[in-house]
Amino acid sequence: MNISSEARRPPLQEWTDGAVPATIRAHGARLAQDSAERASGDRTAQVLPFDGARGRVAERARTFIDGHFREPVRMEDLCRATGGVAARTLQRYFRQSFGETVTSYLKTVRLDAAYRDLIAAHPTRDTVTAIALRNGCDHPGRFSSEFRERFGQLPREALRS
């Protein structure tokens, strides 16, 4: 009697994070640890998220962006600020937690800050370009089109109002 390999192979089991056996959880955490260490170049021991900490990692990234959006924000900086998680892991956790990508959130924060600055600015002393650059938007043409898409007006119209 010849049993096919498909018949002998047990079915794959889907687990929720809370139901993952401890041995698999520990092994997965160790693999994530190794990956984060390679990505960050930091070999210090750290606790990485496996189940309930996903939201905390995403929140740390959002907090970092909120405090540093005027500067160049690189993925390596975000990974370091979140405890050394890998870039793809951070991106996935961020999207799961907030429903948008890290890049789109950063762009939204910068555009909102530029809008507030444009509304508060004096039209004869301040320029759209200076305000855009001050808020981390380094491409004036792209800034103008993204601003119009988000707020329904050009940046110079917001400056005049």
Domain-wise residue ranges, the chain: 52-99, 104-160
Residues 6+ apart with CB under 8 A from 93: 49, 54, 55, 57, 58, 61, 85
Residue among 146, 64, 35, 66 at smallest CA distance from 75: 64
Within its chain, how far is the Cα of 155 from the centroid? Answer: 26
Instruction: Please report, in tens digits, the pLDDT of each residue of the chain (161 residues total).
Output: 555 555 565 554 554 555 555 554 555 555 555 555 665 555 554 544 444 678 899 999 999 999 999 999 999 999 999 989 999 999 999 999 999 999 999 999 999 999 999 999 888 888 999 999 999 988 988 999 999 999 999 999 988 87
| Domain 104-160 = CATH 1.20.1740.10 | no
Which parts of the chain fold into alpha helices (H)?
Answer: 5-8, 22-40, 54-68, 75-81, 87-98, 102-120, 128-134, 140-151, 155-160
Place of tokens 């555009």: 111
Tokens describing residue 9: 């192979």
Rounded Cα–Cα distance for residues 146 and 103 (Å): 13
CA 142 – CA 154 distance, rounded (Å): 12
pTM summary value: 0.65
